[in-house]
Amino acid sequence: MKNVLVLCTGNSCRSQMAHGYLDFFAQGKANIYSAGIETHGLNPRAVLVMKEDGVDISSNTSNNVLEYMDVKFDYIITVCDHANENCPYIPGDAVRLHHNFPDPAKATGTEEEILEKFRMTQRMVKDYCQEFVSKNI
């Protein structure tokens, strides 16, 4: 079974969304992990917009990439430029992929405007994950 790590800065939004969708689309055919260079906790707005699409990430935890140094990954996907540029060395021969998604946690405005930024990022992450699974898992 393939091991996939999704990595971002704080493991609170984008990587958590990707974790949820990769789990959903892989249907048990891969072990999905998500982590951050730091841990910022699971963002409640990310949980909300994922739930709106039928994917429950509410029991996910915010993890630091150093917790997974003993896992042999087949794929490492960075979902923000900061993580891509600052990722610590992870041993192994994993295929490394990068896609910079907008950070919805930085959105400002009314609650509805902020949620729309989360939904926009969520849709992009969903499309990316569906394509990744169809090609690689």
CATH of the domain at 27: 3.40.50.2300
| pTM for the whole structure | 0.95
User: Which entry of 18, 49, 87, 133 is annotated as an active-site residue?
Assistant: 87
- Verify whether residue 87 is a known catalytic residue: yes
Give the total number of structural domains in the chain.
1
User: Which entry of 30, 80, 94, 105 is annotated as an active-site residue?
Assistant: 80
Domain with 6 in it: 2-136
pLDDT in tens, 5-56: 999 999 999 999 999 999 999 999 999 999 999 999 999 999 999 999 999 9
Q: What is the pLDDT of residue 92?
A: 86
- Verify whether residue 129 is a known catalytic residue: no
Nearest partner of 121 among 82, 80, 86, 83, judged by Cα: 80
User: Which entry of 8, 26, 47, 94 is annotated as an active-site residue?
Assistant: 8
What span, in angstroms and rounded, lies between the C-alpha atoms of 17 and 37? 16
Mean pLDDT of the chain: 95
